[in-house]
A and B are shown apart, each in its own frame.
Chain A
């Protein structure tokens, strides 16, 4: 789920940047250091929206760097266990399929795919239901429920299930699905 939170960070700045553009430099460095990182508490930091306050910089006696406490607003993405979200399928293979929801990498194993969906190899690998009405293939949109998460410094991985009510394929038409996923990508980037 996306959240808009206020965070604080102590930024270290080298004295060479003490000058007329010090504030810009601070903000630039903040963006470089924070955007795209993950933390266990807040999840994936998608983007910084604005700077609330930059406190007084204190010079560290030992190194000569100045330390500025910066308060900023950012959008974060944090998956929760039990959360239902929509994802776009990226890779399909015999052990399950991989999907992406923004910066999140999700794996759904065959154990958690409805039993009637069978893996088909071939030109386009997919899972097809018994009556051939439903297909999971690359670029399909699916609704999943997260059952496990793991946060690395740069990425978040999840295990999800499709075996419950109201979960499953939303749209297996790759054309419209790609258009949707492009919108999602634009928002998160």
Chain B
């Protein structure tokens, strides 16, 4: 039979021929990339398909022709539709044939389109296996595995996947610092004689699961865990995926991780240390595979988190050994020498845990599946902080020089973050006077007018413990002229 004789419109049949030829080509290309045996099969099948389709279509066309009352355009259209349907049918056949080697096709397409080289492992692209030059745009993830780098687009993609995963599990991300936040370490050589005697008395049995004093003989270090740390970790792990991020060496970090997490549940492959930081002496969230609006950071130093201050919960330093309080020139007596320890049930970690729970609830109240960026941990943190000293109106006395702007001083900023309002002049609406000296004019005004008179420790207490402290616990003593006030240098007002 001849197509040309049957169909009235010459052009459509030639287009059909063209389409058929195209499809044959497609079939040949596809089958050539798969294994040889299947290619022979598919070639045979496809050509026979094409042939049979042609037959079917000519029948269709004959029917259309028989009906005859259609205009040339419509027939052209119908023929085209037939052509489309035939393409679809052929494509379905193709898909069936190539289902066995679809991945080979995908890989082939990828290599034709160009592999995006999402990451490198030891210099080899993880997607196509070719050795690729590292152009420095990738971030090294040495803490997961040495030699792994990931490109920024891939990091973004991983972050988005992580965000969805977190949402499904209703979790956030918690980045923990080690030294002075969860524990305190000291070298053997730095332990003084009295400390040594006290330690010998306290040192419990090795098998005790609740012990908090650990010896790291390989590094000549002694470590004291902060009270409540084990409960803190287990409770936080229900709401947060946890990372360790420390400025110490990898070997130390891994040893501590083993102590805190013996069964490797919390921190497996999530211990980031100094060598993983992309910038010297600065910690960054670029090596954390998580969206920034879900990360809460717990650290005792603010200076290393310049870029992510809003995600940071500042922790009060844990000084157990005298070497560590000497290191920071701190006035606080180290806990070991004072023969005491932070309270388990009312200490820093407990308060921070309550805050973390609160942040978690507030975050998941406002976020929804389709708007995962709707909630932001940073905003939540700020709001929670603002509530602590809400409604307080403060004036500072003898804390910083009166010529300088109050806003420049750390304690002013802390108070504003805590939701209090700071003023320079007193009036009757003021609620608190912060001072170190009972004899100043403003302090005396406070006593006369029955306003609260507290020392700056009250502000710090609120900042670290996330609740309003009792004013009577922070009294201001009578002035001792010889001792300068603790926080800032003072001048006579």
> Using a CB–CB distance below 8 Å, which chain A residues touch chain B?
81, 91, 93-96, 98, 107, 109, 111-112, 119, 121, 123, 125, 146-150, 152, 157-159, 161, 163-165
> Looking at the complex, which one of B103, B123, B269 makes contact with A91 (CB distance below 8 Å)?
B269
CB proximity of B141 to chain A, nearest CB, Å: 8
Q: Is A121 a contact of B101 with CB atoms below 8 Å?
A: no
Q: What is the bound-complex CA distance between A81 and B141, given in angstroms?
A: 26
Query: Which residues of B, 106-141, contact A by the 8 Å Cβ criterion?
Result: 106-107, 118-119, 121-131, 141
Query: Which residues of B, 128-160, contact A by the 8 Å Cβ criterion?
Result: 128-131, 141, 144-145, 147-148, 150, 158
Q: Is A81 a contact of B126 with CB atoms below 8 Å?
A: no
Residues of B within 8 A of A96 (CB): 126
CB proximity of A105 to chain B, nearest CB, Å: 8
A/B pair count, beta carbons within 8 Å:
75
Residues of A within 8 A of B5 (CB): none
Q: What is the bound-complex CA distance between A98 and B147, given in angstroms?
A: 12
Q: Is B286 an interface residue (CB 8 A)?
A: no
CB proximity of A160 to chain B, nearest CB, Å: 8
Tell whether A150 pairs with B124 under 8 Å between CB atoms, given A123-B265, A165-B100: yes
13 contacts between A and B (CB under 8 A): A91-B269, A94-B161, A107-B126, A109-B118, A111-B127, A148-B124, A148-B125, A148-B130, A157-B124, A163-B106, A163-B107, A164-B107, A165-B100
Q: Is A150 a contact of B131 with CB atoms below 8 Å?
A: yes
Q: Is A159 a contact of B162 with CB atoms below 8 Å?
A: no
Tell whether A150 pairs with B123 under 8 Å between CB atoms, given A107-B145, A164-B103: yes
Where chain B touches its partner, the secondary structure class is: mixed
Q: Which 5 A-B pairs have the closest CB atoms?
A: A148-B129, A147-B129, A109-B126, A148-B124, A157-B122
Given contacts A147-B128, A147-B129, A149-B124, 6 further A-B contacts (CB under 8 A): A91-B269, A94-B162, A107-B121, A164-B101, A164-B107, A165-B101
Residues of B within 8 A of A164 (CB): 101, 103-104, 107
Tell whether A163 pairs with B165 under 8 Å between CB atoms, given A81-B129, A94-B158, A150-B123: no
Residue of A nearest to B265 (CB): A123
Tell whether A95 pairs with B150 under 8 Å between CB atoms, given A109-B118, A111-B118, A157-B122: yes
Residue of A nearest to B241 (CB): A121
Residue of A nearest to B264 (CB): A123
CB proximity of B101 to chain A, nearest CB, Å: 7
Q: Is B451 an interface residue (CB 8 A)?
A: no
Q: Is B54 an interface residue (CB 8 A)?
A: no
Q: Is A148 a contact of B131 with CB atoms below 8 Å?
A: yes
Q: Is B213 an interface residue (CB 8 A)?
A: no
Residues of B within 8 A of A109 (CB): 118-119, 121, 126-127
Interface centre among B124, B150, B289 (most CB of A within 10 A): B124
Q: Is B268 an interface residue (CB 8 A)?
A: yes
Residues of A within 8 A of B161 (CB): 94
> Looking at the complex, which one of B118, B122, B265 makes contact with A150 (CB distance below 8 Å)?
B122
Q: What is the bound-complex CA distance between A90 and B89, given in angstroms?
A: 45
